[in-house]
Amino acid sequence: MNRSVKLYLHFVFTTIIVIVFSSCTGSRKAVREPIKEQGAEFLMGKLKEHELKFDQFSAKFNVVYQVDRKKTTVSGNLRIDKDSIIWISITPALGIEAVRFMLTPDSIKFINRLSNTYFIRDFAYINELLNKTLDFDMAQAFLLGNDFSLYESNSFRASVENRQYKLNTVNRRKIRRNVRRSDDDISIPIQSIWLDPVSFKVSKVLLKEAERDSRKFSANYAEYDNVKGELIPTNVEFKVETADKKIRIKIRYSKIQINQEQTYPFRIPESYTEIKDLQPKK
């Protein structure tokens, strides 16, 4: 598969955030107190209260994409129309666009200007590539450090780990009113969320399968900047780990804007040729 396409098709993810307190004993007590009193429901409420609220989002990005020891660096632009469109333009060098693609809740569209080709498929194609459940809501949340908005939140357990709040759940299912008939089996086998105890922003998310030695997907949010009163992640690391491969994606956002009018152009030139598969034939 084209290496540039992989950068965002995998959406997987990791970096550690360390919180320093003046007193270890005092900080541990302060962090544990809300869990003793109100538990997971309290933490989920705080997570939702402090998550990024927006209608439109845009940013420039630099990405270091690493498979095992081989690294590729690209830059580009990201635009999001909440719950509707994720638009990405990738420019490997000299500011000349090489790849553009657009995700919607139902589809993935891809233009490769280097080969004069294009690709349009149902969003489910991503899961065929990854052999894993992924939907638009999850992709949007991973990019912005939010929780998955269309999934059940009533089965989490709360704890404290390394001076951060931790939420754990098994078999988190998509809310039924948001499930199409073809997606009835969508669920997340095991999910963990770590929260900063001061800002209640997500510092790490881990998804993994229940089987032994199964693949793991993680997202780490090492830095947040204040933009118009909203804390937005600027340094994100995604990881995919399988038995035989490790993929790491480091993203640095800059020139972030929220709720600014923007367009999502996606015109396929008549001279371009349609391709049916993004994976090379063996």
Higher pLDDT, 168 or 69: 168
Q: What share of the chain in percent tops pLDDT 90? A: 50
* pLDDT at residue 7 in the model: 41
Model confidence, pTM: 0.82
* pLDDT at residue 16 in the model: 21
pLDDT tens, 220-258?
Answer: 998 999 999 999 999 999 998 877 788 899 999 999 999
* pLDDT at residue 277 in the model: 75
* pLDDT at residue 183 in the model: 54
**Residue 20: band (very low, low, confident or very high) from pLDDT cuts 50, 70, 90:** very low
pLDDT of 213 > 70? The answer is no
Give 174's contacts (C-beta < 8 A, 6+ positions apart): 135, 150, 151, 152, 183, 186, 187
Listed by start position, the domains of the chain span: 3-17+30-260
* pLDDT at residue 67 in the model: 87
Q: What share of the chain in percent tops pLDDT 70? A: 77
pLDDT of 145 > 60? The answer is yes
Say if CB 52 and CB 146 are below 8 A apart: yes
- The predicted model gives 20-40 an average pLDDT of 46
Higher pLDDT, 200 or 212: 200
Give 169's contacts (C-beta < 8 A, 6+ positions apart): 155, 156, 157, 188, 190, 191
Measured CA to CA, the distance from residue 38 to residue 41 in angstroms comes to 7
Backbone angles phi, psi at 62, to 5 degrees: -120, 135
Measured CA to CA, the distance from residue 56 to residue 82 in angstroms comes to 6
Say if CB 236 and CB 253 are below 8 A apart: yes
Which two structure tokens, joined as six digits, stand for 142? 């991973």
Residue 223: beta bridge partners? 235
pLDDT tens, 33-58?
Answer: 555 556 899 999 999 999 999 999 99
pLDDT of 171 > 50? The answer is yes
pLDDT of 153 > 80? The answer is yes
* pLDDT at residue 264 in the model: 97
Instruction: Write down the CATH number for the domain with range 3-17+30-260.
Output: 2.50.20.10
**Residue 212: band (very low, low, confident or very high) from pLDDT cuts 50, 70, 90:** low
Measured CA to CA, the distance from residue 246 to residue 69 in angstroms comes to 9
pLDDT tens, 174-205?
Answer: 886 665 544 556 678 889 999 999 999 999 99
Average pLDDT, the chain: 81
- The predicted model gives 58-86 an average pLDDT of 93
